[in-house]
Amino acid sequence: MNQTCIRDVSKHVGQEVTIKGWLYNSRSSGKLMFPQIRDGSGIIQGVVFKKNVPERVWSDFEKLTQESSIIVRGNVRADERAPGGFELDVVDVEVVQIAEPFPITPKEHGVEFLMDNRHLWLRSKRQHAILSVRAEVIRAVRDFFDSNGFLLMDTPIFTPAACEGTTTLFEVDYFEDAKAYLTQSGQLYNEATAAAFGKVYCFGPTFRAEKSKTRRHLTEFWMVEPEVAYAELNDVMDLAEQFLTFIVQRVLENRRKELAELERDTSKLEKIAPPFPRLQYDDAVKMLQEAHDKGELEARFEWGGDFGAPDETYLSSQFDRPVMVHRYPTAVKAFYMKPDPERPELAMCVDVLASEGYGEVIGGGQRADDLEYLLKQIHAHGLPEESFDWYLDLRKYGTFPHGGFGMGIERCTTWLCGIEHIRETIPFPRMLYRLKP
């Protein structure tokens, strides 16, 4: 039994192979049947010729329903006309199970229905393509940091206090009357590991309890966060543009087929290369106000606020590559940001807005390294000082300039796939109204 997976059939042209999988789809024309067989690695079209197979094989195929599990034996033939370039001349089939009527059929379904059946929806070509791009993004992320001198540091998921603001935390009971919060970011711990190891990154699930329903929000998402000792804001921006370019290149190199399945216009991605435009917040505000005056943006943006989704979309659609907006007002950013020495009302931070209107994919910057300033910020943000004593220690024992950023894997995947909504970029999305399946 020459077992293979569909991805590798090209190595078996002219040979008889066994494929274990499911029936994706089938059409028939009396004496011929064309079952589409999928096995998770790909889809291949089978050809069953009534005249050439035993009666039982023909009648088994006639009984098969969508998603029936089957083990198929056949000869691999190269055929340019076949989808995928190869066909399987079926010799025999073993039926593992005739599936009950599959809820998801090739016709159109509403998105809520598909989300309720996410565990089954994952079997579609589109989901296969999107989640393969996601896996490629993750592989690229690890390769980039592992081969550029960064050490992986896993930071905790149970944390005693907020990192990104107190209103967006998931609280859990943590033994005798103590409370813990699911992490929003590994950054604060990363700052400690950066002092110990120089260049580090953490990568894991993060949690945000904002009651946001936008197409960019998940309550649970995966974030990768590099942190670099002695890096200043410009170094953080250099790193961000090299990093994003590397990921885009990798996906273009290895996932063309998937991008084609998604009908992604890759010419837009091909253009992505350093340097990315760097736009100071002040200038971004001017652009938004001009857009409003020209009638291109409904609401007039006032200096001092944080950008909303329509603002980010407008800004990022003005450039053919990701744009790095830096130096937002300190007041709208997290407590740990370093103030600009020349204009302390601005933070030394950067948001990278993906191209084609996709909005923020990266947020980061340089960290405040002055003990007095940080203490003031912790009080101003109403954070419990006792939870941060260890963090403040980093400013007592060899404080150092440092910075880094966080990138959401699903935001990045949404952009690279060119799709509408973030919910399809993680196998089982967690959102405001979705905890199942």
Looking at residues 396 to 415 of the shown chain, list those that interact with ligand 4AD (rule: CB under 6 A). Answer: 404-408, 410-411
Q: How far apart are CB 168 and ligand 4AD at their closest, in Å?
A: 9
Q: Give 36 or 155: the residue with its C-beta nearer to Mg ion.
A: 155
Phi, psi of 54 (to 5 degrees): -60, 150
From the list ligand 4AD, Mg ion, none, partner contacted by residue 218 (C-beta under 5 to 8 A by kind): ligand 4AD
Q: Give 61 or 405: the residue with its C-beta nearer to ligand 4AD.
A: 405
- Number of residues engaging Mg ion in binding (CB under 5 A): 1
Q: How far apart are CB 201 and ligand 4AD at their closest, in Å?
A: 9
Q: Give 339 or 363: the residue with its C-beta nearer to Mg ion.
A: 363
- Number of residues engaging ligand 4AD in binding (CB under 6 A): 22
Q: Binder to ligand 4AD among 221, 301, 307, 328 (CB under 6 A)?
A: 221
Q: How far apart are CB 351 and Mg ion at their closest, in Å?
A: 6
Q: How far apart are CB 102 and ligand 4AD at their closest, in Å?
A: 31
- How many whole angstroms separate alpha carbon 220 and alpha carbon 218? 5
Write a three-state SS string for the chain.
CCECCHHHHHHHCCCEEEEEEEEEEEEECCCEEEEEEECCCCEEEEEEEHHHCCHHHHHHHHHCCCCCEEEEEEEEEECCCCCCCEEEEEEEEEEEECCCCCCCCCCCCCHHHHHHCHHHHCCCHHHHHHHHHHHHHHHHHHHHHHCCCCEECCCCCEECCCCCCHHHCCEEECCCCCEEEECCCCHHHHHHHHHHHCEEEEEEEEECCCCCCCCCCCCEEEEEEEEEECCCHHHHHHHHHHHHHHHHHHHHHHCHHHHHHCCCCCHHHHCCCCCCCEEEHHHHHHHHHHHHHCCCCCCCCCCCCCCCHHHHHHHHCCCCCCEEEECCEHHHCCCCECECCCCCCEECEEEEEECCCCEEEEEEEEECCCHHHHHHHHHHCCCCHHHHHHHHHCCCCCCCCEEEEEEEHHHHHHHHHCCCCHHHHCCCCCECCECCC
Q: Give 113 or 158: the residue with its C-beta nearer to ligand 4AD.
A: 158
From residue 360 to residue 379, what is the string marking binding to Mg ion with x (rule CB under 5 A)?
---x----------------
Q: Give 99 or 383: the residue with its C-beta nearer to ligand 4AD.
A: 383
Going by C-alpha positions, the residue among 240, 192, 248 that lies closest to residue 402 is 192
Residue nearest to ligand 4AD (CB): 363
Looking at residues 380 to 399 of the shown chain, list those that interact with ligand 4AD (rule: CB under 6 A). Answer: none
Q: Give 70 or 407: the residue with its C-beta nearer to ligand 4AD.
A: 407
Q: Give 21 or 406: the residue with its C-beta nearer to Mg ion.
A: 406
From the list ligand 4AD, Mg ion, none, partner contacted by residue 419 (C-beta under 5 to 8 A by kind): none
Phi, psi of 314 (to 5 degrees): -60, -50
Going by C-alpha positions, the residue among 52, 138, 125 that lies closest to residue 89 is 52
Which residues have a Cβ under 8 Å from the Cβ of 183 and sit 6 or more positions away?
155, 156, 157, 158, 159, 163, 204, 206, 207
Query: Looking at 16-24, 110-118, 131-139, 219-227, which segment touches ligand 4AD (CB under 6 A)?
Result: 219-227
The answer to whether 426 contacts ligand 4AD (rule: CB under 6 A) is no
From the list ligand 4AD, Mg ion, none, partner contacted by residue 221 (C-beta under 5 to 8 A by kind): ligand 4AD
Q: Binder to ligand 4AD among 57, 131, 223, 297 (CB under 6 A)?
A: 223
From the list ligand 4AD, Mg ion, none, partner contacted by residue 328 (C-beta under 5 to 8 A by kind): none
Which residues have a Cβ under 8 Å from the Cβ of 254 and sit 6 or more positions away?
136
Looking at residues 333 to 372 of the shown chain, list those that interact with ligand 4AD (rule: CB under 6 A). Answer: 360-364
Q: How far apart are CB 265 and Mg ion at their closest, in Å?
A: 27
Q: Give 223 or 347: the residue with its C-beta nearer to ligand 4AD.
A: 223
From the list Mg ion, ligand 4AD, none, partner contacted by residue 362 (C-beta under 5 to 8 A by kind): ligand 4AD
- How many whole angstroms separate alpha carbon 401 and alpha carbon 336? 12
From the list ligand 4AD, Mg ion, none, partner contacted by residue 429 (C-beta under 5 to 8 A by kind): none
Q: Give 42 or 363: the residue with its C-beta nearer to ligand 4AD.
A: 363
Binding site for ligand 4AD (CB under 6 A): 163-164, 185, 187, 208, 217-218, 221, 223, 225, 360-364, 404-408, 410-411
Q: Which residues bind Mg ion (CB under 5 A)?
A: 363
